[in-house]
A and B are shown apart, each in its own frame.
Chain A
């Protein structure tokens, strides 16, 4: 058994939350640079220029990329040969709270009904038990605007690939400028209601520029990206060719009666950090 002390995890989570807010996830800067070259709408180009400039200011001056420093979503892969000394859950919570304070981030989490700020940025944590003696922590700082434009539902089985595509296009068309395009689209197909949602969220963690290894799904990713960019929504919704930077699809088997689908939209300000202890 390999021993990892809870305070070590707390420190790492704190660092990941702060750092995730200071620079874009792998591949995003390159995708924005490419988008700037390809965009022909003058206003769209201006927005992309601001975003590239923003990334530089955030990195150099160590100020958050976006004022919405996100709802922290933590994915933990715990090796079965790892023994955690102390309270893992508490360590993550403390790491996030300290990260918010020490990194001058924003407390963006509140009671759902009274709307009172919890002053804790209570994270969403997903645990997975895997083989090995390592602990992998992935942290996604997820903005509210793009999450608000996302959707999870269960379709009838006959809806198929065409039904899925239609819904994705419809959702992105309706959302228009609201989720801060150019967006990244995470699609979870199959599983069940919460399974599809988790798949969609995990799809967002994949580095930009990578495709699903399943040829049928990578084809769906390419087709959808092209159709989304045909919508003409453009950067910030001001019109243009670049509406999405990437589409990531993940799939799981589902019940014979249903076709669960989750569409998780992510803004261009895509912030993911990872560490292995």
Chain B
């Protein structure tokens, strides 16, 4: 069963989430990937305001394909999160509560998730067509010149996710040891 949650995320919501849990997320999330993160970091260093309030927010590591006529958005699945690791701890310090992507996070990020009570969700990579159907509205907020790498505000409904790293130090990818052949009689999830 999936747990339904809504943005902005509060400490209380974050603390209810556990590694391996399936989630359906609704509300506003913000896209940002490589170049957008570099620019967000520049703004933070200069002390300038960010395109969105990071407090309670969720960032989606994604750069959609072009929007065909009559659609809200193009294909929009997650990109590999680890490339954003060097920028993530600072954003968590500023109140970011969730990130969505695919793949592993660094030890620093995992520690910061515990320290700042935040969570890392996985969306299914390569399922961009399916995920695009959960996006009800999309608006470019900053850096339009970056095209697919621009920061967008997305209004999502029941966006399917899995908790990969929770605020208690749990890591879904470490659980996989249990799946080595011969030792998977009791599915952990």
Contact = CB atoms under 8 A, between A and B. Distances in A.
Interface string A183-227: 000000000000000000000000000000000000000000000
Contact of B126 (A108, A239, A269): A269
A269 B125 CA distance: 9
B140 to A, nearest CB: 15
B27 to A, nearest CB: 21
Contact of A66 (B34, B77, B149): B77
Nearest to B172: A238
Contact of A236 (B65, B75, B122, B179): B122
Given A105-B65, A106-B64, A42 B187 contact: yes
Given A117-B147, A232-B177, A234-B179, A65 B184 contact: no
Q: How large is the interface on A (under 10, 10 to 19, 20 to 34, 35 or more residues)?
A: 35 or more
A261 B63 CA distance: 32
Interface in B60-104: 62-68, 71, 74-77, 79-80, 82, 102-104
B178 A104 contact: no
Given A43-B20, A231-B180, A238-B189, A180 B71 contact: no
Q: How large is the interface on B (under 10, 10 to 19, 20 to 34, 35 or more residues)?
A: 35 or more
B125 A236 contact: yes
Given A177-B104, A233-B176, A236-B122, A54 B65 contact: no
A172 B108 CA distance: 23
B129 A61 contact: yes
Contacts, number: 172
A64 B75 contact: yes
Contacts of A101: 66
Contacts of B187: 40-42
A51 B125 CA distance: 9
Contacts of B64: 67, 106
Interface in A18-66: 40-43, 46-47, 50-51, 53-54, 57-58, 61-66
A237 B176 contact: yes
Contacts of B62: 67
Contact of A237 (B63, B67, B160, B173): B173
A148 interface: yes
Given A106-B74, A108-B148, 19 more contacts: A53-B127, A57-B130, A58-B129, A63-B68, A63-B71, A63-B129, A63-B132, A64-B75, A66-B126, A67-B64, A67-B77, A100-B66, A104-B68, A105-B65, A145-B102, A232-B181, A238-B20, A239-B179, A269-B125
List 6 tightest A-B contacts by C-beta distance, closest first: A232-B179, A269-B126, A178-B103, A106-B65, A58-B129, A64-B75
Interface of B: 20, 22, 34-35, 62-68, 71, 74-77, 79-80, 82, 102-104, 122, 124-130, 132-133, 146-149, 160, 162, 172-173, 175-181, 184, 187-189
